[in-house]
A and B are shown apart, each in its own frame.
Chain A
Amino acid sequence: MTAFSIQTTAEDHRIAWFTALAITIHIIESALPSPLPGLKPGLANVVTITVLILYGWKAAAWVSILRVIAGSLILGTFLSPTFLLSFSGALCAILALFIADALPGKGFGPMGFSLLAALAHMTGQVSMAYIAFVPHPGIWQLFPVLIGFAVLLGASNGLISLFVLKRLT
């Protein structure tokens, strides 16, 4: 059997490190009680936003997706409805960040990115919930409430990211 080795780059190491951090935060957070099932502060997103600003969108996308998949594998929710919701939320969030990052001009700071990601994440989740689980139009009456939460959490995660970035640079 010929041995083979995978060549890793410094970027790979970075992404792995941040992903591991994000996963850890995610798992710790999942142990905490929440007012609404499925509603979490999403502190792992601080890592995503920080990576976005420091290393660009691609790195942030990797960290985010890997975190959702690995996190669900570890927690045992892989391919469950919960996973489906998280994944669609994460996907929407990354897309929103891609668009926001690509916009010309001075652009957004961690506060703006965090808010956008939170809004996109929540919208993606509720849409997936409507399509796949609760196809009742009444779900949209809940939507503004959830978006309200998303705004608060997006803002607070943004502040935390701001703080972290200041400390790192």
Chain B
Amino acid sequence: MTKADRILYLITALLLPMMFYFSWTGDKEADYADVYVDNKVVRHVSLSGQQEIDVAGALGHSVLQIDHGRIRFNTSPCKAKVCIHRGWLQRGGEFHACLPNRVSIALRSNANEYDSINF
């Protein structure tokens, strides 16, 4: 292998994982979130602006925080607080839940916001 060959292979080896990352992670930002309690949608909220949402679940109240396009569990009555440790969710299609409290969030982008358009 010549020097040029080696450089070429090195660059390729570095670029390949990056290609996977960019094409496999959805970069669509979420615009809305569906909040479920026990698999039923109880709230359908916009992620714009800032607000707090109180959701009554099986154990108690989970408080969700919305901040300019992202959402997270702020407080929750569960023991392990796994839901809170997840941190911010912001991409369309992302999903997270507080299983003990039976509260879950599904993020949606405008692309799949409506089932049908009337005009």
Contact = CB atoms under 8 A, between A and B. Distances in A.
**Direct contact between the two chains A and B in their complex (CB within 8 A):** yes
Interface of A: 103, 105-109, 111-112, 115-116, 119, 140-141, 143-144, 147-148, 151, 155
Nearest to B4: A108
Contacts, number: 47
20 contacts: A103-B4, A106-B4, A108-B2, A108-B8, A109-B1, A109-B2, A109-B4, A109-B5, A111-B1, A111-B5, A112-B2, A115-B9, A115-B12, A140-B23, A144-B16, A144-B20, A144-B23, A144-B24, A147-B19, A155-B9
Most buried by B among A112, A115, A116, A148: A112
Chain B interface category by residue count:
10 to 19
B3 interface: yes
A136 B3 CA distance: 39
A112 B5 contact: yes
Contacts of A108: 2, 4-5, 8
A102 B115 CA distance: 54
Contacts of B5: 108-109, 111-112, 115
Contacts of B9: 111-112, 115, 155
B16 A141 contact: no
A12 B5 CA distance: 30
Interface of B: 1-5, 8-9, 12, 16, 19-20, 23-24
